């Protein structure tokens, strides 16, 4: 989320817009135009990949994050329209690759406008745009291997019990 916020502030948002990470905090909304980003889903794109070394295993999985942007203010549709246009632009993809090579913009969902009435019962322009971001997640763990096996742990099977002739 930090990297997405950095891109929005550096490349897209007007200087007078505030940016927040979505959360339920019961604070009043700002008086200026603002944008809220909130992760709404995380979807695996493939099965896990395991990369083994002598001491560790790295388990990685590509996932698609959906981050909903909610803009509030007179230019909400214009700002989100600009974000939608730039999201898959080659400069945006290059910007993300320069910062982290395990993240890439994918696509956007539909830009929608909603009615929003604030706590003072005043109408404010509001719009939402879902962004899809591909992220390679990974976890590294120690490799679980057996280096020795004691004879006490081996149970010997005999065939004597299985080969007895059956009684007529």
> Per-residue pLDDT tens for 24-75?
666 777 788 999 999 999 999 999 999 988 888 999 999 999 999 999 999 9
Answer whether residue 167 is part of any domain.
no
CATH number at residue 38: 3.30.2000
Answer whether residue 120 is part of any domain.
yes
Q: Write down the pTM of the prediction.
A: 0.76
Answer whether residue 150 is part of any domain.
no
DSSP state letter for 95 = H
User: Which pLDDT belongs to residue 149?
Assistant: 52
**Domain ranges, residue 108:** 2-144
Answer whether residue 127 is part of any domain.
yes
| pLDDT single digits (tens) 125-141 | 899 999 999 999 999 99
The rounded radius of gyration (Å) of the Cα atoms in the chain is 27
Answer whether residue 75 is part of any domain.
yes
Domain count, the chain: 1
What's the rounded Cα separation, in Å, for the pair 167 and 83?
Answer: 83
The answer to whether 106 and 133 are in contact (CB under 8 A) is yes
What's the rounded Cα separation, in Å, for the pair 139 and 23?
Answer: 27
User: Which pLDDT belongs to residue 147?
Assistant: 58
Answer whether residue 153 is part of any domain.
no
Within the chain, strands assigned E span: 18-21, 34-44, 49-52, 56-72, 103-108, 112-117, 123-142
Per-residue pLDDT band at 159 (split at 50, 70, 90): very low
Answer whether residue 59 is part of any domain.
yes
103: pLDDT strictly greater than 60? yes
């Amino acid at each position: 989320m930090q990297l997405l916020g950095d891109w929005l502030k550096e490349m897209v948002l007007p200087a007078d817009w505030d940016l927040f990470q979505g959360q339920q905090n019961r604070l009043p909304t700002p008086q200026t135009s603002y944008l809220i980003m909130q992760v709404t889903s995380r979807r695996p794109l493939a099965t896990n990949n395991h990369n083994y070394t002598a001491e560790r295993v790295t388990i990685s999985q590509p996932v698609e994050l959906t981050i909903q942007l909610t803009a509030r203010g007179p230019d909400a549709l214009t700002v989100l329209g600009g974000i939608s246009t730039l999201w898959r632009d080659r400069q945006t993809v290059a910007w993300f690759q320069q910062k982290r090579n395990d993240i890439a913009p994918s696509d956007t969902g539909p830009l929608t406008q909603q009615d929003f009435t604030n706590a003072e019962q005043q109408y404010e322009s509001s719009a939402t745009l879902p962004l899809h971001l591909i992220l390679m997640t990974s976890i590294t763990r120690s490799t679980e291997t057996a280096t020795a096996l004691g004879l006490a742990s081996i149970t010997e099977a005999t065939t004597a019990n299985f080969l007895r002739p059956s009684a007529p």
